[in-house]
Amino acid sequence: MTSGIDHENTALIGEAALWLATTPKQSRPRPAIVETKERFGLTALEAIQAIREADLIKARAG
């Protein structure tokens, strides 16, 4: 059984999470899932993981 996440993309997920955490919503050109899929080449599942990680980054910072 697999998780559905390509573990080779873990670094990209982290990069996307950092971008999401540091880029204000009004500065993003599209919804988070669409933007992270296209900007970082992630799958929908990986984009969701990046959003979760971004939420954790923001929670730790504030």
Q: What is the pLDDT of residues 15-31, one digit of tens each?
A: 999 999 999 999 999 99
Q: Mapping DSSP to helix (H, G, I), strand (E, B) and coil, where does residue 4 land? A: coil
Q: The whole model's pTM is what?
A: 0.84
Name the residue range of residue 23's domain.
Answer: 8-61
Instruction: State the SS3 of 5-45.
Output: CCHHHHHHHHHHHHHHHHCCHHHCCCCHHHHHHHHHCCCHH
Q: What is the pLDDT of residue 50?
A: 98
20 in a domain, yes or no? yes
Q: What is the pLDDT of residue 6?
A: 59
Structural domains in the chain (count): 1
3 in a domain, yes or no? no
1 in a domain, yes or no? no
2 in a domain, yes or no? no
